[in-house]
A and B are shown apart, each in its own frame.
Chain A
Amino acid sequence: MALLEIDSLTVRFGGLVAVDNFSMRVEKGEIHSLIGPNGAGKTTVFNAITRVVKIHSGTIVLDGVELTHVAPHRVVSYGVARTFQNVVVFKYLTVLENFYVGYHHRIVGGLLKDLIPTKRRLIENYDMYREALKLADFLGLKSRLLSYAGSIPYFHQKLVEIGRALMAKPKLLLLDEPAAGLNEAETKQLVNIVRRIREEMGITVLLIEHDMRVVMDISDVVTVMDFGKKISEGKPEEVRKDPKVISAYLGEINSA
């Protein structure tokens, strides 16, 4: 059964059609990549799923629940968490606090309740702490927990962002260019972590990535976009040989 179903999605900015009648399905437990040349509309698809851009037409359904009209800050409680193209961590919070931010939507009640140390609150806090610890361990950030997120190496900041997203216990994790700016050793570690997120946590992963070695290595299914439309989909080795994909990236061999 499909976890995420996007059906004939269209997003416009003024006269520009960024995503044009685009449909795709992400199956439960998959690692699925969304690729395409610059300006193809990949990030816009992410933004539509997380509802930060206006959807012109089409529907987005997650696990049987329609997300199309959900408010952006509520999307996470429906089970979608994401990371950004340029790392967005809270620089002046510690790694641990960054993780807590990710847990935010799972806490019941508002500020007032937060101030009164009821038993339930204490248990929640303890759960939150334990969860953060577990994730830090999982991501190899244990020694960094009390450092400010802005002060740690770039790769670790990326992991903090992933960790924060995982704190929300999502069904679907969206990663926007996780390997950008990483060196080879770090890229390998990242690939490994993404695999383990699927295997050990059972979380479905949808990622945008430019580094094709990562895409081809990690994905079960690859969807290719160009000019806002889906041009190809399939296993990595199929997509790689698809003439449509080759000409989207390298141009028409017979033109000019």
Chain B
Amino acid sequence: MFLNRLILGLSTGSFYSLAAMGIVLIFKVTGLMNFAYGNMAMFMAYVTYTFVSLGLGAWSALVLTLLVSMLFGYAVERFTLRPLRKLSHGSMLIVTFGILMILEGLATQIWGTQYKSLPELIAGRPLIFRGDFGIVVFRRQDLLLFAVLVTVSFLVFLLYRFTKVGIAMRAVSENEKAAQLMGIDPNKVISWCWMVGTAIGTMVAVLGAPRTYVSPTMMIYYQIQGFTAAVLGGFDSLLGALCGGLVLGVIENLIGGYISNELKTTLSLAIIVGILLVRPQGLFGSEEIRRV
């Protein structure tokens, strides 16, 4: 069933897209690959779990967690990475690795090793359409996911295109020195990106939790695929991240359906390597040719 595979692919792809957008947002202004990205989101999923187990409804727990995640993203950047920013890029990478491991350990310490479950934010009978095209099944969760993806992308687009903060973000990501000459404080802009990026990651973790369960390793695959999607999209383009994720999800599911479920990750990565050989700048990357 091609159409159902496609829908499934788009739904997995939405997770990748969201993950990729957060990664790219942070990468664009700081030039930093945040290895802790997935685990920060994982930690936030545990926070949601705690809120829920304290008796909060799933939706209010999510909203509350998003606020917490912004604070969390701000704090991680402000207190662990900013002091190093002018010193060495390499040490910043290592610090994000460190945070990755600390969070994993911390989560086990606080919440134990047993997997936790989070309720679906939306539940109910799937929507079924019959027609000449056969039977198409839409799960309500997938509809929610698409809605979230569209909303987040649209909001990020508006933020990026039309607001002062957005102009500042783009200015800093293109030329930090010139941006400073306009009175833009790069530190502030970086904080913003970390806050928004972490919140997007958290969204992935909380929406994905019903599938993956809440566990210290729940985000590893999403982080890897989010990274791949970002690379596919060109790594410095938000639109690229969005499309890269969807393309990756679809490729993966079609291979899983028609060729072999075991090989889906391997083959999809091979295809991406192929795409990148033809278009090294990714689907939407800027085509600037770097001089030696």
Contact = CB atoms under 8 A, between A and B. Distances in A.
B292 A52 contact: yes
Interface in B1-54: none
B90 to A, nearest CB: 14
A53 B289 CA distance: 13
A52 B291 CA distance: 10
A78 to B, nearest CB: 20
Interface in A40-90: 52-53
Contacts of A13: 291
A230 to B, nearest CB: 23
Interface residues of B, number: 3
Nearest to B289: A14
A46 to B, nearest CB: 13
Q: Do most interface residues of chain A lie in helix, strand or loop, or is the interface mixed?
A: loop
A52 B292 CA distance: 8
Contacts of A52: 292
A14 to B, nearest CB: 7
A14 B289 CA distance: 9
Interface residues of A, number: 4
A215 to B, nearest CB: 27
Nearest to A72: B292
Nearest to A52: B292
Interface in A1-60: 13-14, 52-53
B61 to A, nearest CB: 52
Contacts of A14: 289
Contacts of B291: 13
Interface string B253-292: 0000000000000000000000000000000000001011
Contacts of A53: 292
A12 to B, nearest CB: 12
Nearest to A13: B291
A245 B42 CA distance: 65
A107 B73 CA distance: 55
A62 B134 CA distance: 74
Nearest to B288: A14
B105 to A, nearest CB: 34
A105 to B, nearest CB: 20
A13 B291 CA distance: 9
A97 to B, nearest CB: 23
A53 B290 CA distance: 12
Interface string A202-221: 00000000000000000000
Interface in B106-121: none
Nearest to A14: B289
Interface string A132-169: 00000000000000000000000000000000000000
B239 to A, nearest CB: 24
Nearest to B292: A52
Contacts of B289: 14
B254 to A, nearest CB: 39
A54 to B, nearest CB: 10
B288 to A, nearest CB: 10
A15 to B, nearest CB: 12
A53 B291 CA distance: 9
A207 B250 CA distance: 58
B276 to A, nearest CB: 23
A13 B289 CA distance: 10
B148 to A, nearest CB: 41
B30 to A, nearest CB: 25
B291 to A, nearest CB: 7
B114 to A, nearest CB: 49
Nearest to B291: A13
B290 to A, nearest CB: 11
A209 B40 CA distance: 52
Interface string B153-178: 00000000000000000000000000
A52 B289 CA distance: 15
A102 to B, nearest CB: 21
A93 to B, nearest CB: 20
A193 to B, nearest CB: 29
A14 B291 CA distance: 11
A41 to B, nearest CB: 14
B7 to A, nearest CB: 43
A239 to B, nearest CB: 30
A73 to B, nearest CB: 13
4 contacts: A13-B291, A14-B289, A52-B292, A53-B292
Interface of B: 289, 291-292
- Ordered nearest first, which 4 A-B pairs have the shortest CB separation? A52-B292, A13-B291, A14-B289, A53-B292
